[in-house]
Amino acid sequence: MVAFLAMIVPGGLLADYLGRKRLLIFASIGNAIGAAIVGFAGSFTTVAIGIALMSLSGGLFTASIEALLYDFLKTEKREDQYKKIWGKMTTVRMLASAAASLIGGYMYSIDVRFPWFLVAVASLTAFFIAITLKEPRVETPHDSFRQFLREAGKGVTELFKKEAWKISIPLLLIGIFFTTDSSGIWDIQAVEFGFSSQFLGILLTVAYLCLAIVSWYAAKITRKFSSFGGIVLFAMIWAVLWFVSGLSAGIIGAALLILRSSFSVVADVQSSGLWNSMIPSRVRATTLSTITIIRGLPYILVASNIGMIIDSVGIQWLIRSFAVLMFILLLPTCFWWIRKGRNESV
């Protein structure tokens, strides 16, 4: 994750300056090479190099794909369909993850290198698809890279000026908690429930399938809510589920894990649409990359100490504490939103 975050902002800058399609092509090639290196690795050092290259490529990919999709729809005057299409793309990603968890496990039992070779083949397939993509025309008034850097910095700071910060700060807080959960807390809690490795594999596959269904209908689920209001509402429900799961165990605990992940996926699809609507095209990838690194940085900073904290107080107590903290931090936003009026555009 450190390598992923280290590359994502430079990747965003390069995507805006050189083009998102080029970055997707580079990311696909890099991921294929990294997976092949791991597959042929004969030492831990070689494995680490391959994983690092794949993580760096993931940063390039993340910096490009979201901006490419939104700007393509914008040039077609179809940006209102972004959340629906992004939700369906998330469904495909979840289904692929579910299939990978099943097929990968079987291939690993035959030969530990096979799953990595499969990743390499999938990445090469993505490379050929990326070549056929159409780069949307966006406003690029950059006479020099230095001027571009100034405009990129201005694009980020605009999100925290005037009334915008009242939306940006809560969205970032929500994203930080979602990222913390998906980056390790979810898995640690599942293990804490005492499930066998076989059941954990089944749970993960079921979770991916449920999230695929929820993602497909994410736009419909949030249709009755304003963009910002729906995100806050789903995040508050997620916080309640997070707290309750910290009191649960067994099958009920597993069901709560899947249910809270479903709410976070819907909120993330909604957040993606809102962020993109606030960002100018010429610095879209850079700004989205900056948002991603802000979301992931707190977890990176405390990740090395989380194990020690869990050993001291337990994962369930930690989850309840996080849930209460999130609820308290979002209360002022709830009051502001209610006061502003639910029928407004945000």
Q: What per-residue confidence (pLDDT) applies to 329?
A: 86
pTM over 0.75: yes
- Delineate the domains of the chain, giving CATH numbers in brackets: 2-338 (1.20.1250.20)
Sign of CA dihedral 224, 228, 230, 233: negative
In whole angstroms, give the CA distance from residue 119 to residue 278: 35
Residues of the chain where predicted confidence (pLDDT) is lower than 50: 342-346
Sign of CA dihedral 257, 258, 262, 265: positive
**Which residues have a Cβ under 8 Å from the Cβ of 331 and sit 6 or more positions away?**
none
Extract the tokens encoding 338: 């209610």
Q: What per-residue confidence (pLDDT) applies to 191?
A: 81
Instruction: Give the H or E element holding residue 35.
Output: helix 20-40
Q: What per-residue confidence (pLDDT) applies to 141?
A: 52
What whole-number percentage of the chain has pLDDT above 70?
87
In whole angstroms, give the CA distance from residue 126 to residue 62: 14
State the DSSP string of 82-122.
HHHHHHHHHHHHHHHHHHHHHHHHHHHHH-TTHHHHHHHHH
Extract the tokens encoding 82: 């972004």
**Which residues have a Cβ under 8 Å from the Cβ of 8 and sit 6 or more positions away?**
59, 62, 63, 289, 292, 293
By the 8 A CB rule, do 168 and 286 touch?
no
Q: What per-residue confidence (pLDDT) applies to 147?
A: 65
